[in-house]
Structure 1
Amino acid sequence: MRLTTAEIDRYGPLYDCRPPCQDGISVISGPNEAGKTLYLEALLQLLEPDVADVMDPKPRVSQTPTGRVVVEHNGEQYECDGNTSLCEITQIEPAHLQSVFVVQDNDLQLPSDQEYYTSLIEKLGDIHTTEINAIQSALKDYGRLTNRRLNISSDQSYHNAGDVHDEAETLAEEIRDYTDEIEEEGLDELDARRLRIKRDLRETRKQLDEQQRAKTVAEFERLSEQLDTYRSTSDQLAELEEYDRDTLEELRTLSKDLQRDKEDLQELDDNVEKKQDEVNETAKELDDLTDQQSDLERRESAVDEARTALETYRERQGEATGAERQVELTRPAALVSLLGAGGAGVIGAITGTLSAIGLGVLLLLVSAISGGLYYRANKRLTGGETARESAVQTARDAGFEVETVDEVAPAIEAFEGELSRIRERKAKKEQEHQNAQEILERLQEEKSELKTQIEEQEKELAERLEEADVESIDEYEEQVTAREELEPDQQTAKQSLVDRFEEPDADEPADKAAAWERELDEFISDVETDEVDAETYDQETLQQLEAEVERLEKKRDKLQTRLDEHDDTLDEFDRRARDLNTQPFIGRGLGLDTRSKEGLGTLADDLDSVVQQLEVDAVLSRKALEIFGRIESQEEQKLSELFAPDGPASRTFEQLTGGRYTQVAYDPDAHDLVVERQDGRDFGPEVLSQGTKDQLYFATRVSLAQQLLGSTPGFLLLDDPFLAADPDRLNQGFRTLQGLAEEGWQILYLTAKQEVSETMVEEYDLNHTKMEPSSLST
């Protein structure tokens, strides 16, 4: 059996997915969320629509896929498009398709329940498990038993037998417990006790009424006194109404402010005097600085002349330095030339030669030029000396005490520094003087304003005292104190009346008093005051009588409640008995026929008969089920034939594990697999490493698939079954897959693992199709 076409038109976001179906191993690779799992889900549902009910996890998409899958089986081709299913053309069931022919990394483990292996065996061998199960089912129906624990079932198909059993048993027990309570509490005597308590209650209430009428008269007298107090205090307070604590505090505040302002005025006087002294002092200092500045400024022109003379000297001094060098050079040159010219002239005159005469003329010319240069240089030296003396004298005329020209420049610099400092001090002093004058003006203005404010405060205080008709604040305080002493008495009297009668809808005290007087008349209207002695009222006695009435009422109510509860309990027992559907079990319904202790006993016995009937049926069914269970165990031994020692599961598992494990078998007692290691030790899957466990369940699937197909090759749909495998196990897995492919198996391998899509595809020369996320619609 192989797939020739597996095309998905639409499944959720997956659309138009048509990878080729080829023989051998075909790898479909792509990153996570590229649609590989959706493709696998759609392919399975097209092969068998009912597979969606057994898939775990459930399909990601709720809609049915569209497309077609063509299966070739026994030389025939079948198109599975959601109408024709794989289970109709083979003996494969939906559970087997999902768990055997599909291998996923998160679903390698096979179901471990017995029913799964039983369904496989019934397909693969001649075992009568179904008939046995039918008999067991009928026995469970007879005994109304649950499937696993064989308890009496509460299923509706069994008329809720378990619930009826439990409720009948519980109700019978509760009825018998209640009959014991009837004996212990003497419920038959409750009514007589209730009548005695009612009689005692009437007598106590009469005594309480007498005390309450005496209390009313005493309260009337007390409230009348409070009303008189309210009226008298209200009249007195009316005369003192204008005197209040707030006004007194205002007068005190005004007096304190007045006193404080007077103190502030005295302080302002002192500050004004001090600030005036400061203004005068700064003015005097400013005059001194002005005089000093004027003296210095009068010398400025002379100082400028001294500075000019100094600069002239410095210029002449530079020229004199070159002239002195020139004098030193030209003086000997002129002398030598003059002497040479004389000698040459004498020689020329004696000898009469022209050369001697020419030399003499030339030396005479040099002597004249050197003499001219010497004169000019000597004159410049004389001018420099004159400039020096002029600079010193000009500085002395400017008022500097200097002896040499070198002292002139420092004297000028000192003069300029002193003038600058005097100017700065004068500017600063002018600012201080101005600030002091401004502050003096502000203080004088504040003083004037404060005087005006004090006059206004004195006037206001006098006017307010005159308005209050008092001479002083102390006299005003006496009136306020008198009012405050009356107000608590008025408030106490008022509060007593308000507590009893509430606040009247009136504004004036007289109107309130009149309203309360009417309330008092109404309060006492129902009492014959001549017949009641207020002196007999005693608060403690009243409280005792009230407590006694309350106690008797509670006791009466408790007895009445208990009688009502007794009736309610009987009604509840009757209702619960009638609600029980006992007709299917004893042929009749139940109820409380007589409302007595004897009637309750009869009902409890009837409930016992229901419980006994259900338990007898259950016991007989369990005994029969035990017998057929032993027969079923014998049949289950045949399950081990699925995993023969030399079967495909053992061979595949041995190859996958590199010979470390040699055999796979089925343990009928544990309903699970067991493997044998090469050293002969047996292990269950739960103790194996994850990688070895994956290899075991993969080998088991291959074995079951071969046997389901009658030992003929088929197809396997693999979704990264070796995702967690290391490189060595991954290589062993693909060697096993290659062997299956050589035997004729068609393997569709979906993966996100690059080691498969790159290394394994190249190493084993596999068919390869890439899926990209673009195949999903957004």
Structure 2
Amino acid sequence: MRIKKIDVEKYFLLEDVHIEPSDFTVVFGDNESGKTMLLDAVLDALFHMRAREKAVKALFPSFANRYQEIEVPQVSVVVSGEEGERVYPSDEPLDKVIGFEMLYWRNLLVVRESETDFVSRKSGAWKRWLDILRENLSGIEGGLHRIQAKIYDKVGLTPKGEDWTNREGRKLKDEVERMRSELRYLIALSGQILEHEKLAHKRKKLQLEEGTLLAELDRQRKLKNKRTYIRAKQEMELLLQLKEEEKKYGMLDRKDFERWREVEARIASLMDSLNQLMQQYQGAERELKRKEEMAVQLRMQATEWEKREMEIVPEIEKRLKNLRALHIKKQSATKWQPLTSAGFFVSTAVALLFLAVTILRSTPLFLIGTVIAGVCAVCLYLYWLSIRAINSQMDSAKSELFSFFEKIGEVVKDVEEAEKWLDVGRSNARENRAKAELIFMEAARERAQFEQLGDTIASKKVLLEEVRSELDGLRRKTGVSSFREFQSQLEALTQVREKIEARKRLLYEYLDTKNEAEFYTKLAQLEEYKDVEGEYDEVRHQELEKRLQAVRSEKDEVVKQFSELEKQFARFGLSTSEELWTKKQRLESRLEELEREKKAAVLAAKIVNELAESQDALINSIMGGSTNSASAIFTELTDGTYSGVFWKQDTVYVERPSGTSFPSDLLSSGTKVQLYFTLRLALLHRLLSGRKIFLLLDDPFLPSDPKRLRLLLESLLNLSRLGWQILYFTVDRDVADWALEHHLEGVTLQHLPHLFR
């Protein structure tokens, strides 16, 4: 039987996984790839896991915990066998189809890393597995050791069958001791039956007297209730008078009084707050007005200058520009003054020199010098006239400029002061406008605060009106006009209420009640006794109670003695001497029967023990037999480190080639994996009688070192060559590498992607 195809469309987080397993398929993926989820999906399809809740919780608890609320899965597994192909899930689970118990699947065909050691020895399933190993390795059906234990349990014997023990609560041994004890008591009880009858007669007489006393006491109780009712009625009348006086004060209430006090205090607080806020409001209003007027004044000054900028300043700048041009022209002319003067003096000196030479030598050079000097004098004169004209123009321009300033009401003394006047005016205009804007912004902020303050004052006034309205409501409700009047009437009302409460306490104590409702209820109950004839006699009442107490004390003693005898009789179900004799014969007969059962149980247990020893011997012969025996497989897996496996006292032992042996519990975790895998293979060979089937392995060899791991994988490969199908689910990279190395030998490697990538 082989798995031909696995299709998972949707299973919890797993989607779109399609595998066609070969003889040996390694499914490799990391811890987030859904490897275990894929195996669970295959098991769910094959064995209807979610539909078999009880079995799954017992055999596959991790599955039951993981997939309790899974949506409808979309998984199909195609399995081929002798009857052909079958698609799972189908009408019947796979274990039902091939007649293989689900418990075997749990520990044989499906092997997880956490389940390598079958089940815990502490669990109840361990003995069941011992029976499976015995039954299937020996061929002898039934758990013989369990049968032997049940035989001993049945009769309460020790495991060696020597005597009754305390097994199951010493049930049988206690029963024997109890019956022997009963025999001793039965003889002692035979003389106490007459005493029992005397006590019964006396008890009846005391009960009659008790009834008479109770009837008389009941009459006295009714008379007492009559007296209580009359006195309570009188006290209640006084209470009603006080309540009528309380009604005169109308709706006065302590809560209203406190509320009145709070309201008046709140009004005073609001008035103080309003006064303070109004002072702040008026101060803020004055400051805001001052700042706005200052800003307006600064803005007007800036606007006035801007107006001058448009009307007057252009003319002033024009005149200043003309003066600057004349000044530049004068500076340009003045640059030639030294050269012209020097030329004049040089030419004059030359003329004088030529004159001297002419006189001395009588030459015409004087005439030439004279001409040159004349030309230089004319040039100097013309330069002087030019400078004079420029100065005249400058003086005229300055005079006009100063006159213009006088027209506009300003006084300047020179050109520099005029220019300074322009610069200062423009600078002041800019500063005034900037200051005005800054003050306006500040005033806007303060106005917002001012308006907010006004809103606060308005809300305070509204609140004040509401509080005053509440005070008016309290006046109308209470009917008083002032707090002092309220206080006076409330004090008087308090005194009346204190009297009422004192009167209530007296009434409640008198009728033993907790509140007014209980009082009236009890008073109504007492009303039925108001017409009882006679008067209550307290002395007579006390005498009757004393006599009743004495009668009851005597009766209790009689009842106690009577009950002791009845307990002794009831212990054995007896009331007469005939019943006592019958009980004695029955006990003797039961004791003889138990002794016979004990002897028969010891004999039966001895026979079963011999069968169990024969079964263990047969198991050991099979373990060490053919090439498919546990010893042969274990020797191969451990590479000859161990030479055999055998069974002894419900424990698997291993043997070394040297002949030494020890329990498997002492093996390392890796060797235990090999041993328990060996037992699984031996069981499978035995159970399937040569049939080949698939193995689903979920990393069963994680504790093994690399060398052991390869030996185990090689043994699985040998199994696949013999016709077994191996599906190996792993996160171990070494297993994946081994699969790649053996791909030519039919080993295929299937990768599972990460679920969350």
1:67–1:59 Cα change, 3 Å? farther
Would you say the 8 A contact 2:135–2:143 is kept in 1?
Answer: no
Counterpart Cα distance in 1 of 2:615 and 2:290: 134
Question: Which residue number in structure 1 is paired with residue 203 of structure 2?
Answer: 194
1:311–1:177 Cα change, 3 Å? farther
SS at match of 2:532: coil
Match of 1:607 among 577, 583, 587: 587
Q: Deviations over 1:18-40 (max 9, x none)?
A: 6455xxxx335365257557768
SS at match of 2:726: strand
Question: Which residue number in structure 1 is paired with residue 25 of structure 2?
Answer: 27
Counterpart Cα distance in 1 of 2:747 and 2:248: 109
Question: Which residue number in structure 2 is paired with residue 77 of structure 1?
Answer: none
Would you say the 8 A contact 2:46–2:94 is kept in 1?
Answer: no
Counterpart Cα distance in 2 of 1:278 and 1:183: 118
Counterpart Cα distance in 1 of 2:376 and 2:572: 172
Counterpart Cα distance in 1 of 2:703 and 2:424: 102
Question: Which residue number in structure 2 is paired with residue 673 of structure 1?
Answer: 653
Say yes or no: does 1:642 pair with 2:622: yes
Say yes or no: does 1:537 pair with 2:549: no
- The Cα of 1:688 is off from its aligned counterpart by 1.5
Question: Which residue number in structure 2 is paired with residue 582 of structure 1?
Answer: none
Would you say the 8 A contact 1:29–1:771 is kept in 2?
Answer: yes
Say yes or no: does 1:525 pair with 2:525: no
1:331–1:97 Cα change, 3 Å? closer
Q: Deviations over 1:739-772 (max 9, x none)?
A: 677xx63342212235434433424622145668
Match of 1:663 among 633, 640, 643: 643
Question: Which residue number in structure 2 is paired with residue 745 of structure 1?
Answer: 722
Which letter maps to 2:25?
V
Question: Which residue number in structure 1 is paired with residue 331 of structure 2?
Answer: 325
Q: Deviations over 1:429-451 (max 9, x none)?
A: 9x99xx99x99xx99xx9xx99x
Question: Which residue number in structure 1 is paired with residue 662 of structure 2?
Answer: 683
Counterpart Cα distance in 1 of 2:148 and 2:254: 105
Match of 2:80 among 39, 62, 68: 68
1:44–1:6 Cα change, 3 Å? farther
Counterpart Cα distance in 2 of 1:465 and 1:94: 93
5 Å-filtered alignment, 1:702-721, equals 717=695, 719=697, 720-721=699-700
Counterpart Cα distance in 2 of 1:713 and 1:465: 109
1:179–1:144 Cα change, 3 Å? same
Which letter maps to 2:27?
S
Would you say the 8 A contact 1:108–1:697 is kept in 2?
Answer: yes
Counterpart Cα distance in 1 of 2:637 and 2:333: 124
5 Å-filtered alignment, 1:571-590, equals none
- The Cα of 1:666 is off from its aligned counterpart by 0.8
Say yes or no: does 1:616 pair with 2:617: no
Instruction: Compute the RMSD of aligned alpha carbons.
Output: 7.8
Counterpart Cα distance in 1 of 2:743 and 2:592: 72
Counterpart Cα distance in 1 of 2:95 and 2:260: 106
Counterpart Cα distance in 2 of 1:340 and 1:556: 177
5 Å-filtered alignment, 1:46-61, equals 57=60
1:209–1:65 Cα change, 3 Å? same
Would you say the 8 A contact 1:198–1:556 is kept in 2?
Answer: yes
1:70–1:365 Cα change, 3 Å? farther
1:314–1:663 Cα change, 3 Å? farther
1:241–1:375 Cα change, 3 Å? same
Counterpart Cα distance in 2 of 1:274 and 1:96: 98
Question: Which residue number in structure 2 is paired with residue 585 of structure 1?
Answer: none
Q: Deviations over 1:251-277 (max 9, x none)?
A: 999999999999999x99x99x999x9
Match of 2:735 among 753, 756, 769: 756
SS at match of 1:752: strand
Instruction: After superposing the two structures, state which structure 1 stretch, 728-737 or 542-551, moved more.
Output: 542-551
Question: Which residue number in structure 1 is paired with residue 711 of structure 2?
Answer: 732
Counterpart Cα distance in 1 of 2:561 and 2:156: 42
- The Cα of 1:326 is off from its aligned counterpart by 0.8
Which letter maps to 1:195?
K
Counterpart Cα distance in 1 of 2:294 and 2:104: 121
1:376–1:520 Cα change, 3 Å? same
Counterpart Cα distance in 2 of 1:423 and 1:748: 96
Counterpart Cα distance in 2 of 1:27 and 1:250: 91
Question: Which residue number in structure 2 is paired with residue 693 of structure 1?
Answer: 672
Question: Which residue number in structure 1 is paired with residue 121 of structure 2?
Answer: none
Counterpart Cα distance in 2 of 1:619 and 1:247: 95
Which letter maps to 2:200?
D
- The Cα of 1:222 is off from its aligned counterpart by 3.1
5 Å-filtered alignment, 1:7-22, equals 7=4, 19=21
- The Cα of 1:624 is off from its aligned counterpart by 5.0
Q: Deviations over 1:81-108 (max 9, x none)?
A: 9899989xxxx99998987787664554
1:321–1:568 Cα change, 3 Å? farther
Structure 2 unaligned residues grouped into runs of 5+:
12-16, 30-34, 49-54, 65-72, 85-92, 119-125, 163-169, 355-362
- The Cα of 1:622 is off from its aligned counterpart by 0.7
Question: Which residue number in structure 2 is paired with residue 469 of structure 1?
Answer: none
1:243–1:736 Cα change, 3 Å? closer
1:320–1:248 Cα change, 3 Å? same
Which letter maps to 2:80?
R
Which letter maps to 2:638?
T
Would you say the 8 A contact 2:4–2:79 is kept in 1?
Answer: yes
- The Cα of 1:694 is off from its aligned counterpart by 1.6
Match of 1:246 among 249, 252, 263: 252
Q: Deviations over 1:364-399 (max 9, x none)?
A: 999999778756654565467547866997898579
Say yes or no: does 1:722 pair with 2:707: no
Counterpart Cα distance in 1 of 2:109 and 2:439: 111
5 Å-filtered alignment, 1:541-552, equals 542=541, 545-546=544-545, 549=548, 552=551
SS at match of 2:335: helix
Which letter maps to 2:81?
V
Would you say the 8 A contact 1:337–1:366 is kept in 2?
Answer: no
Counterpart Cα distance in 1 of 2:716 and 2:616: 32
Which letter maps to 1:687?
L
SS at match of 1:526: coil
TM-score of the two chains, using structure 2 as the length reference: 0.57
Counterpart Cα distance in 1 of 2:711 and 2:191: 84
Question: Which residue number in structure 2 is paired with residue 629 of structure 1?
Answer: 609
- The Cα of 1:527 is off from its aligned counterpart by 1.1
Counterpart Cα distance in 2 of 1:241 and 1:706: 104
Counterpart Cα distance in 1 of 2:488 and 2:3: 115
Q: Deviations over 1:98-143 (max 9, x none)?
A: 87787664554578865445445545xxxxx679979x97998899
Query: Identity rate of aligned residues, in percent?
Result: 15
5 Å-filtered alignment, 1:226-265, equals 226=235, 229=238, 233=241, 242-244=248-250, 246=252
5 Å-filtered alignment, 1:425-444, equals none
Question: Which residue number in structure 1 is paired with residue 51 of structure 2?
Answer: none
Counterpart Cα distance in 2 of 1:722 and 1:228: 97
Counterpart Cα distance in 2 of 1:109 and 1:475: 93
1:247–1:649 Cα change, 3 Å? closer
5 Å-filtered alignment, 1:162-311, equals 187-198=196-207, 200-202=209-211, 204-205=213-214, 208=217, 211-212=220-221, 215=224, 218-219=227-228, 222-223=231-232, 225-226=234-235, 229=238, 233=241, 242-244=248-250, 246=252
1:701–1:404 Cα change, 3 Å? closer
